[in-house]
Structure 1
Amino acid sequence: LDLKLRKEMQAELKRIQQSLNITFIYVTHDQEEALTMSDTVVVMKGGYIQQIGTPVDIYNEPQNAFVADFIGESNILSGVMDKDFMVEFGGQTFTCVDKGFTRQQLVDVVVRPEDIKIVPTIQGQLSGVVKSVLFKGVHYEMIVEQAGYEWKIHSTQAQQPGEIVGMNIGPDEIHIMHKMED
């Protein structure tokens, strides 16, 4: 099915499920489809459940780096919890909303591309060089290199390749999780 017809089919299946008030079990590898169609999402890896929750919970509060990367696009970096509500990554210390980690604990830090705000360099918590810009229709997708990491950023404002930009990330946009073991 083409994309438009597939989206129409998803809406129709959801309507049927709700009108009949029955449970559907829908298996898909399409992450957007899972979020769109589901009341409850179960993310599995290698036959093991990684997380169960509502689509909003799975997207906004992934329990590990696998879930964060599997459901939606993510910037996943190694970080260190300095103390409750303070995490270091990208060469800077950030305020976050997470607590309960030990001091200097290694963690995975997840920041969604749409949660990074491009600002003038002088106002940025971080600064980097724009490597590429793609127009995606609703937004631009930019890759910004900063301290050896390539950040994926979604913004309605395009910057130019080679331009130095500032980046700001609010405390609510930083998701901390225990380091994932393979």
Structure 2
Amino acid sequence: MSRFIPANAETREFTAAAVVAYCYQSDRGPAFVAYKGRQSKPARFYAFPSEERRDANLADFVKQETEREDWKRARREAGHGLEVGDIVYSSWGYEQTNVDFFEVVRVPSARSAVVRKIEQDTIESAPGSMSGKTTPKPGQFEATAKEATHRAAGLHSLIGGKSARGSLSKWEGRPVGVSWYG
């Protein structure tokens, strides 16, 4: 699919916002169609009663998108902030809550970390309750666990993958709730 670019449109590029806008005169008044990045679907497509209102709306959109791009760039550059020996975990499940703990074994860069699944202790809340709390056993790797590289998803968090369901967050040292079906 290709982008709609009106005939006789003035092209305005905003690199910091990753936006390109085409300003033109439509049947309903001054208008613009704006695209984000390489998208073929317009991010904005509006007509206004005056050029001033069109330009003000476009400026607000560009400001918003510039802030979003700056936030994304800062988040990427900050990395995960994890160190070797840190414990991360994923909590997942539909009708029950499962928790898997992993230990950071290598940090190749600020944007990736290598983890390996570790064993955990689970204590049932009350007999037959099918719920409880679990804590990791640092340094005690599961026998079949393999190392897996995960990308940063922000400060103290990694993107899940084949070895972990959901995202991985740094464990804060408190027991984590779990539940199961008998």
TM-score range, shorter chain: under 0.3
Q: Which has the higher helix share?
A: 1
The structure that has the greater radius of gyration is: 2
Q: Which has the higher strand share?
A: 2
